[in-house]
Structure 1
Amino acid sequence: MGNIMNLVIVESPAKAKTIEKYLGSDYKVIASVGHIIDLPPNELGVDIENNFEPKYIVIEGKEKVISSLKSNAKKADTVYLAPDPDREGEAIAWHIASQIDKNKPVKRVLFNEITKKGILEGINHPGDINLNRVNAQQSRRILDRLVGYMVSPLLWKPLRYGLSAGRVQSVALRLICEREEEIEKFIPVESWSISADFNIESKATKEKGVLKAKLDKIKGKKAELKSEKEAESIFNDLPKDFIVTSVEEKAVKQNPAEPFITSRMQQEAIRKLGFTAKKAMAVAQSLYEGVELAEGPVGLITYMRTDSTRISPEAENQAKEYIENTFGKDYVTKNKKSAKKSNNVQDAHEAIRPTSVLRTPNDIKKYLTNDQYRLYKLIWERFVASRMAEAVFNQTVVRLTGLDYEFKASAKTLAFAGFTKLYLESKEEDVKNEEDDETTISFKISENTPALRDKTEKKQHFTQSPPRYTEATLVKTLEQQGIGRPSTYAAIISTIVERQYTELQEKKFHPTELGRIVNKILIENFPKIFEVKFTASMEKDLDLIEDGSENWHNVLSNFYKNFDKELNAASTGKISANLETNKKCPICKSELVIKMGKNGAFLACSAYPECKFTSNFKRNEKGEIELVEDKAFEGTGIKCEKCGAELVFKKTRFGEVIACPEYPECKNIKNFLRTPDGKFKILEAGQVLDEKCPECSKPLTLKSGKNGMFAACSGYPACKFTANIEMKDDGTIGIKPNTPNESGEVCEKCGKPMVIKRSFRGAFLACSGYPECKNAKPIKKK
């Protein structure tokens, strides 16, 4: 092959395909498939004594990628580095530059949208690699490595090998644990309300109607009824005859929400679409990189990692023209003002918006997956609505007075739809909707009109505990507290779930007992490093490094001074992994504590070894601990065919099994799955499943591995398909779909996600593009 005039290097093969279409034959576009070098996986990789210099190595499996980058760069006249336009992308560009020919002209280009306009604008305005941005990203990587590599071993001895502590993830865990403590300590406060129906006849029209109103004031002061006795007294003292003392009518305007920034997009995708933050980012990435339309591959949205609501004048004008043509001139915003820039907003990119408003969701639906369509529709509607006129409501407030008592009724009706014709923002999960004070007023009411009190009721209320975090509210809190950055929220959340420090129940985060203990150890031994404000201040320091106003060596040095003190103290002291409870031992009356064993958490007497009492336990909705009968040896009703004893349920580190109670004399063990009706089915090796192999259509059979039962193709070794199993809703045993690798790793050969598969030899990573791409490799041990 001859010389290449221009070589463009991006991160993603999908993006490469889209970009090459617009640049033409003078350009060759190839992909690095993410990072090519990183800190070593099995050592610290940071020279603390030498100004925190990192030691980078080639990532395993990336040797061929680097070889391709070098050979192509050698043939090119100019090399353009075009990874994503953020800190991480800048670091990747820097790493690529370090691996290719140093004598070649190397330029950095930024593509904020993968469209013809965005590509040509980026390629025609090349610059140099922003070393301040590189140093900011490098500092984050080093900070995370110092904390993770040096703190994690302190969890191993009291708990178990392999647990890890992350600098930012541990603060997110702390927020969840502290919220759980608030819920557990919460004491409800009682209050009462009184409402009544009033029969009113309009003076002007003689029209009669009923108005529902709520007691608002007593003797001119806010009505606050704290007990049933007080409410009963007021209830019995209310007069029958009231008069309408005031009717206030006014127009209320509601402004549309700003176009999406990363965190808001994640929150809305979680609430409206049922996505996770991680899924929202993955789908958005595919929309940004390009989708094959009739006209060819096109990037449908602007870059999705942004904290700015800024919009380009061209996009603004296109949106307004579309709104006027579609809805009418009245629906175009008259005086749209940009949101005030916050101190911690970097404003490096525009808000997330469609690259062209003219590509409506319905017009391109047939080219998109269902998830792509739903997210694109959300982004498109949010952006267009942000450029529409405000909604106008007519609000009416009626006050009725009788002796010392004043009742209030309010109603709101839509006068002009404005932006609500297209888009309504979802409600916050943490907003309490205890009472809806809005009522309906269906007839004209005038002041000084008599009102006769009719049906009256009193109602008891209790204040509610703070709500548990959902993914959306956790993202919102991380953003408000300055923890992490928009591009990191999805990784933070998936990490604390993957590590089994938290679990989602009904879409709300609950800390596991392991998570509580890890949080306790970290806070007790590292009160500064895992403090919320300190972590937020570190984010600001990283921003200062990117601005060029702070030296990255100094930032790391200042951090390490605090960190080293806490690390030395924790390393030399005794770390307690016991959680205190308010329960007493039923045998010796000493305090019970929660401990972690190989099979999970359990209660134990703090007077051990003098008292050896232990028990299983559970937490109720308030988080209170309740002792439960040990179910480890619950009978199954099945007779052991080897010794005649009744088989029982037992818990092992691999999960629950059915086993003989006479172990170790009798080692009869059976695997099983719970059925939807609470019963169980025993699994036997060789059992044929109802499902067929998705690769060759031969029957699937059950196989026994070191980690339990799994499904395998009966056509082995010609077909090596395997999968995890699960109990289906209809009570049959089926296969679980392969789950994406939580590290977000992609195939270095074709760019598709790597998935976890199981074989006779254990779990491994395989390309989801199989059988077209047969790339497979072992899972790295952390």
Structure 2
Amino acid sequence: MTTLVIVESPGKVKKVSAALGDGFKVMASVGHVRDLPANDMGVEPPLFALRYQPTERGKEILAKLRQAASQASRVILATDPDREGEAIAWHLADALKLKNPERVTFTAITDEQVNKAIAAPRQIDMPRVHAQEARRALDRIVGYRVSPALSERAGQRLSAGRVQSPAVRLIVDLERKIAAFKVTEHYGAELTLANGDGTMWKAAWDTRPFLRDGESYLMDDKLALQAAAVRAVTVAAFEDGQKGRAPAAPFTTSTLQQAAGRRLGFTEKLTMDLAQKLYEAGLITYHRTDAPNMDAAGMEDIAAYARGAGLRLADKPRKWKAKEGAQEGHEAIRPTHAADLDAGDGAEQQALYRLIWQRAVASQLADAVYAVRTATLTGQADGTVFTFMATGRTLTDPGWLAIYAEDTEDEDKTGDGDNPAANPVPALTVGECRTVAQGRVLTKKTKPPSRIKRTDLGPELEKLGIGRPSTYAAIIENILTRNYVSVDSKGFLRPMALGEAIRDALVGRFAFAELDYTRELEEQLDQIAEGKANYATVVAGAWGALDDELGALATAAITPAHPCPECGRALVRRKGEFGHFWACSGYREHGCKVSLPDAKGKPGERKAPPPPTGFKCPDPKCGKELARRQGVSKPAKRGMKGRPYDFYSCTGFPRCDKRFQTGADGKPVFPAAGAG
């Protein structure tokens, strides 16, 4: 008998099989084998049980796995080491009716890690499964309860998402801050001095002593002109020193997506797809993580490589503080073997691997060292004393920069964050006098907040506690493809009209649109995973809140995509017996009876009233004019022909829905007197 090992991705099968050898059969679930229904919520209160069904692909895979499990003496579930993977393991155990399933996870697909995991199996972690189910349930509840109501109010398909809506709000609110920003013009001054070799250096006026209480900027242009007129300065202080600059932490999921977008031009989805393949090939550790630190074995592997390559290590292994709310379930992303400088199948995988390698190795190397020279200068103009500051910085030891040199635009700016231009300040002596070559007034303007770049949205959401690393690529993809947000030519995110409409409809009415609420809910999911909170309690709380909040949607001032020509409410596309048409959404509540034909998915022109026929509705309660309806219905399917129709209907519709066939003489055929 053999041991059946079920992994998640087919890409792992060959590597894991080779690591385990004889006596093991490795098969793949190919991700999820069961899911919630495609056409309804699948969440049933009051207990909020989830109604699962096999996916189309899952039916076939489960059949194969069931047969293999029946022939195995032992079944090990080795799906991915995250909550999603834990949930897939439980689905497999449940669907296959496994009696004693064992659970293992591989932090890296190497011979050592695979065999180490197989030697220490555990049970399925049900609190983590429940946390994944709670996320799924909450997403379904928001999507299925709020999105239809929102769409009805807007007269077009709009989607509310528990995490995507706060992301859209973030971008809309920032754009509005930028639009409302008022520029403040303020002033400074700069002196230029000459060295003996003809090089020039600069000193900036320190305006702080001249600011009034509560002021942040100097508004006096005449005073700035006076400071720029200084032509002789005395050295008040001078210091020669060194300053180190530490490297950034190894990549987490969000920072990897950010750096790959900036440096390699990869989308978040492409980055994750490539990282998945590198992980499956045993080249990197697991790539869905929010932990900034590597484990001890990883740091030692890098240290061994660095010593052999003659690279100077930091005095002690480096560690970083995780962001607030980080789960830190897995170590930071690193190469499994630092000695492998290049790896991957194809140019894109190789480029991403190299980026991961550089960042991880650099993180353990010595600081980059700069020689820093600072001088304080004083001078007078028209009896007023002014102070000027000069700073020069020169790289004397590249340290980690020798490995990861282009780090100035990465998300974790380190050291003092400065990147000053070369300013060759000479060696000076306190009390020494210097002549100023020239001075100039600096006219400055305050700048509005900067828009968020696509590459920076994941780290920004992570900082705010919105979503989790595995969700960022999907969030960004959703809000872009649904035209809630666009990306401009420089990579900055800008809200679109639909995104603004959704933001305004949700904010102030739904708790899930509030950034703090979203972060707190993520914390509740973490508590479920840790066994400190109950699935049903968390989901029931969100359900109950929506009951109250959906009532408030009626007051939302949503601009309809297609307003009713009579009452201004949204026109909604409906499907009737003879094809699609547009009707006013205010019909039921407000009695607005406007309807328009469909013109390629948009409201068409209102049809002219039917010509008089001279026939009256025989219903004694009605008596209105009958209209003759003739034409050909829209075909039910492409390639089919529509069917001709010819009948009389009452113009009192919808209150009177009487219809009569057309006789051979072209007149309506009324029922015989007394007929039912």
Tell me the TM-score normalised to structure 1 length: 0.68
1:254–1:390 Cα contact (<8 Å) kept: yes
Match of 1:280 in 2: 271
The answer to which structure, 1 or 2, has the higher relative contact order (CA under 8 A, 6+ apart) is 2
Matched-pair contact (CA < 8 Å) for 1:267–1:472: yes
> Which residue matches 2:430?
447
Q: Distance in 2 between matches of 1:82 and 1:449?
A: 73
The answer to whether the aligner puts 1:492 opposite 2:475 as a matched pair is yes
Per the alignment, do residues 180 and 653 of structure 1 end up closer, same or farther by CA in structure 2, a change over 3 Å counting?
farther
Within 5 Å, give how 1:516-595 maps onto structure 2: 516-526=500-510, 528-570=511-553, 573-578=554-559
Aligned residue number for residue 32 of structure 2:
35
For 1:7-406, list aligned pairs within 5 A: 7-49=4-46, 51-103=47-99, 105-199=100-194, 210-217=200-207, 224-235=217-228, 238-290=229-281, 299-328=282-311, 331-361=312-342, 364=343, 368-403=345-380, 404-406=385-387
Structure 2 counterpart of 1:643: none
- Aligned-partner Cα distance in 2 for 1:93–1:147: 26
Match of 1:755 in 2: none
1:475–1:489 Cα contact (<8 Å) kept = yes
- Deviation, structure 1 residue 313: 2.4
- Alpha-carbon contact 2:370-2:394 (below 8 Å) kept: yes
Q: How does 1:554-703 map to 2 (within 5 A)?
A: 554-570=537-553, 573-578=554-559, 596-597=561-562
More strand by share: 1
Deviation at residue 532 of structure 1 after TM alignment: 0.5
Deviation at 1:234, TM superposition (A): 4.1
What secondary structure does 1:525 align onto?
A: coil
Aligned equivalents of 1:139 and 1:533: distance in 2? 19
Offset at residue 438 of structure 1 (A) = 4.5
Q: Is the 8 A contact 1:283 1:371 kept in 2?
A: yes
Aligned equivalents of 1:230, 1:322: Cα separation in 2: 58
Contact in 2 for aligned 1:198/1:453 (Cα 8 Å): yes
**Residues 218 and 288 (structure 1), Cα distance of their counterparts in 2 relative to 1, 3 Å cut:** closer
Deviation of 1:442 (Å)? 6.2
Offset from partner CA, 1:492-514 (integer Å, 9 cap, x none)? 11111111111111211111111
Q: 1:34 to 1:244 in 2, by over 3 A?
A: same
> Aligned partners of 1:227 and 1:654: how far apart in 2?
60
Cα offset for 1:220?
7.6
Amino acid at match of 2:64: S
Q: Does 1:421 find its partner at 2:399? A: no
2: distance between equivalents of 1:25 and 1:547? 37
Pairwise CA distance, 1:760: 11
CA drift of 1:653 comes to: 6.6
2-side partners of 1:472 and 1:55: how far apart?
36
Deviation at 1:548, TM superposition (A): 0.8
Q: 2:339 is matched by which residue type in structure 1?
A: L
Code of the residue aligned with 2:258 in structure 1: it is Q
SS in 2 for 1:158: helix
Classify the secondary structure of the residue corresponding to 1:596: coil
Contact 1:514 1:596 in 2 (8 A): no
* 1:246 shift after superposition: 1.6
Match of 1:508 in 2: 492
Query: Offset at 1:437?
Result: 5.4
Deviation at 1:89, TM superposition (A): 0.3
Decide whether the 8 Å contact of 1:529 with 1:562 is kept in 2. no
Report the count of equivalent residues.
568
Give 1 or 2 for the bigger CA radius of gyration.
2
- Structure 2: runs of 5 or more not aligned: 569-598, 608-637, 641-676
Deviation at 1:448, TM superposition (A): 2.1
Identity of aligned residues (%): 35
- In structure 2, which of residues 431, 451, 465 is the aligned counterpart of residue 468 of structure 1? 451
Shift in CA distance, 45/221, structure 1 to aligned 2, threshold 3 Å: closer
Q: In structure 2, do the counterparts of structure 1 residues 435 and 216 end up closer, same or farther at CA, with 3 Å as the change threshold? A: farther
C-alpha separation between the residues in 2 aligned to 1:446 and 1:19? 68
* One-letter amino acid of the counterpart of residue 433, structure 2: P
Amino acid in structure 1 at the alignment position of 2:79: P
The 3-state SS of whatever aligns with 1:533 is helix
Q: Contact 1:277–1:471 at 8 Å: present in 2 too?
A: no
Contact 2:373–2:392 (Cα < 8 Å) also in 1: yes
The answer (yes or no) to whether the contact 1:190–1:227 under 8 Å persists in 2 is no
Partner of 2:592: none
* Deviations, residues 597-630 of structure 1 (Å, cap 9, x unaligned): 49xxxxx9xxx8699xxxxxxxxxxxxxxxxxxx
After TM superposition, give the deviation of residue 343 of structure 1 in Å: 4.6
Residues in 2 aligned to 1:100 and 1:56: alpha-carbon distance in whole angstroms: 14
